[in-house]
Each structure stands twice: as structure tokens, then as C-alpha cells.
Homo-oligomer: A and B are copies of this chain.
């Protein structure tokens, strides 16, 4: 059913997880950190390879403790015991959950105490900063903080680990971006005026899967006469008409790694304002691509892109940034903003996403995906056409 396309290997070697853990432990050692606790899906997957959509169930908390030396330790509900034991981990501790009276808290406290004791004391890290949250009931978290004696913020460690990708991760990104590029190329053959937005969504979703994606967790879009004004919408029963603009923005996945880029189309014709807005975001992306290199900052990239938008009469936009990191989540650190200031490193996977509102009050957002190489960006998405495509 799917297209003939070489598929990268699924999963990762044990060596990949050993490297991730060793990099983490080197940063922990600099801070005399005895243990690092994570409890969110991408972090648990990063250290273990445990990959399941079961996280959609909010019922049970899941924990992984990274000790100062040795493999991470899983402290998880028994329903995940078989899957977690099939990963590279050796130490998988389970309890029968849900158990509201003590849903893993005591088991986790004991594990942390054991790990910290073996280290001879030291702090216990937990990500507490931007783009993180603690996935357990606040009442249990308060109890945990009291019994552990407090946590220190480990956001910087997790952030710097996850922002730079391995070649094995990059291969998965490249694969899903190629799939979605091909699916976007098929759109003119799939869509026509008279279809509803909902039918257009279903046709595009089916095409992405036909091209070989595992799933399409993120798909938003909109249509509207002469342009659109909301870029995170779900489809309606509105029929596509002559003169409409369409945006589709999708985060599709291969083996748990995301693409995240959009494309804009006009049906039968477009006015000059829409064409100019499209050209402006395309040129802005060119400026972003030219600014991307190891050592540059996300703020420099933002500024380079924003100058082009301002020169083309942008009235601003509501997105709050012009691109971001990409990985196991559809958006990750860093953000291309006027103050983010993250130093760009080789093998970061990033999006460039300039957007503007033009004089009609409509929005135009454009996006590409890339990996940072020593000499600049390597595009992962197939570069969009420089002029607004008309179907």
C-alpha cells in the first residue's frame, strides 16, 4: 500500500541510549546532581526507548530516574512492565496502578533515596522551566517534594540533550519530511473547489499515511476567501470556493519523530496582496536559511527573517515566534524570538516559520524544516515554490 521508499531503521541501538545517558551524567556531575527525575513522554522515551500511545491515558504517572552512574531506572505502573522490560534498561520497578492512596510515590521516593545514598548525597534534578511540566497530580507532587527534600531545576540539562540530534534521529526526521513533501506535492491532484474542508483534511491525511507516515498526530488548516485568519483550526463543513486560500500545517510522524511544516495554496486565482504576502514569507525564509549556522543565535535568525517581513509591510502576527526546535514533539526548544538567544549548534533540527498579517487583515504563515550542519542548513522539507501555487 505504501510508496516504495527506503525506510530508516526503527528504534535505536543500545549505544545511542548509552551515549544519551553518559552526556546527561556528565552534566549532572558538574552540578553534583545525584539523580535526575523525568516523568513526561518524550523524556522517558529519550532515556529508555519506551514508545507507546498509552500516555494519552491520564490515569497513571510514569517515572524514570537517571542515577549519577549506570543505567536509568524505571518506576512505572505494572501495565507497562512488559514493554519497559523489553528496552535496554535492567532495573524496572512496578506497582499496580491506579492506586490513589499511593500511586507510585513511595516506590519513587525509595528509588531516589537509594540512588542519592549511593552517590553520597547531592541534589535531585527535575525539569521545572519553560516548555516542561510535571505529569503527576499536584497533591502527589507536593508530597514527593517534601519526602525527597526538594528538587533543583534540571531544564537546562534536558534541553541541551534533546536539542541536538543524533544521525539516527536525523534520519527519521529526513524520512518523514520526505513523505510529507511528497504528500504536499500530490495535493493539487487531490483537492478541488466544492470539497468541504473536512473532506480535504481526510484526503490529505490519507495521502500522508499512503506515502508511508506512521501517523498524522497534528493536522490543522483553514480555507477562506482571499486568505485565512486562524492557523490552528480544525476543519469545518465549509466548501472550498474559487478565490480561496488554503493552509495545511501538519506534524506527521515516523517512528515517533515529527515533521512540522505547512503549505499554502490558492484555488483558481489569488489577489496581488496574497501573492505578495506569500512571496514575503518565502523570502523571509531565505533570509533565515542564510542566517543559520553553528554559532549564530536564534535571535539573529529571528531578526534576519523579521527584517524581510517588515520591509514587506508586515502588520505583525500572533504566533509569538518564527520557528522552533523539532524532534519527538511537534515543537521543542529553542524558539526563534527577538530575545531567545540560544546559540545554534550542529545537528539541531529546527523549523523556520515566518508569518505576517497583511493589509487585508489575513495571515500568511510559511514553514520549512532543516538540520544544522557545519556549513549551514540542510533542508529536510522540500523547499516550497517561490510563488503562491494555484490549484
Q: Which of A's residues lie within 8 Å of B, judged by CB?
A: 1-2, 10, 51-54, 56-60, 77-83, 86, 94, 96-100, 103, 126-139, 141-142, 153, 155, 199, 202-203, 205-206, 209, 215-220, 229-234, 237, 251, 318-321, 324, 329-332, 335, 337
Contacts and interface: CB of A to CB of B under 8 A. Distances in A.
Contacts of A98: 130-131, 320-321, 335, 337
A81 B357 CA distance: 14
Contacts of A234: 51-53
Contact of A128 (B54, B86, B137, B251): B137
A206 B212 CA distance: 12
B100 A130 contact: yes
A75 to B, nearest CB: 15
Nearest to A218: B53
24 contacts: A52-B220, A52-B233, A53-B217, A53-B218, A54-B218, A56-B218, A56-B331, A59-B335, A77-B320, A79-B232, A80-B232, A82-B229, A83-B232, A96-B320, A99-B320, A129-B139, A131-B137, A133-B133, A133-B134, A133-B135, A133-B137, A138-B141, A139-B153, A215-B216
A79 B318 contact: yes
A335 to B, nearest CB: 5
A139 B128 contact: yes
A179 to B, nearest CB: 13
Contacts of A77: 320
Given A79-B319, A137-B155, 9 more contacts: A1-B199, A10-B237, A51-B234, A57-B331, A83-B232, A100-B129, A128-B142, A134-B138, A205-B209
A296 B94 CA distance: 31
A132 B58 contact: yes
A130 B335 CA distance: 33
Contacts of A229: 82
B220 A209 contact: no
B320 A220 contact: no
A153 B138 CA distance: 9
Q: Which of A80, A136, A139, A231 has the most CB of B within 10 A?
A: A139
B130 A103 contact: yes
A80 B199 CA distance: 24
Contacts of A324: 59
B137 A136 contact: no
A272 to B, nearest CB: 24
Given A1-B202, A82-B318, A59 B126 contact: no
A33 to B, nearest CB: 16
Contacts of A59: 130-131, 324, 331, 335
A172 to B, nearest CB: 14
B230 A53 contact: no
Given A78-B318, A130-B100, A132-B58, A52 B232 contact: yes
B82 A230 contact: yes
A335 B79 CA distance: 14
A219 B331 contact: no
Contacts of A219: 53
Contacts of A56: 217-218, 251, 329-331
Q: Which of A51, A52, A81, A82 has the most CB of B within 10 A?
A: A82
Contacts of A231: 79
A58 to B, nearest CB: 5
A217 B52 CA distance: 11
A325 to B, nearest CB: 10
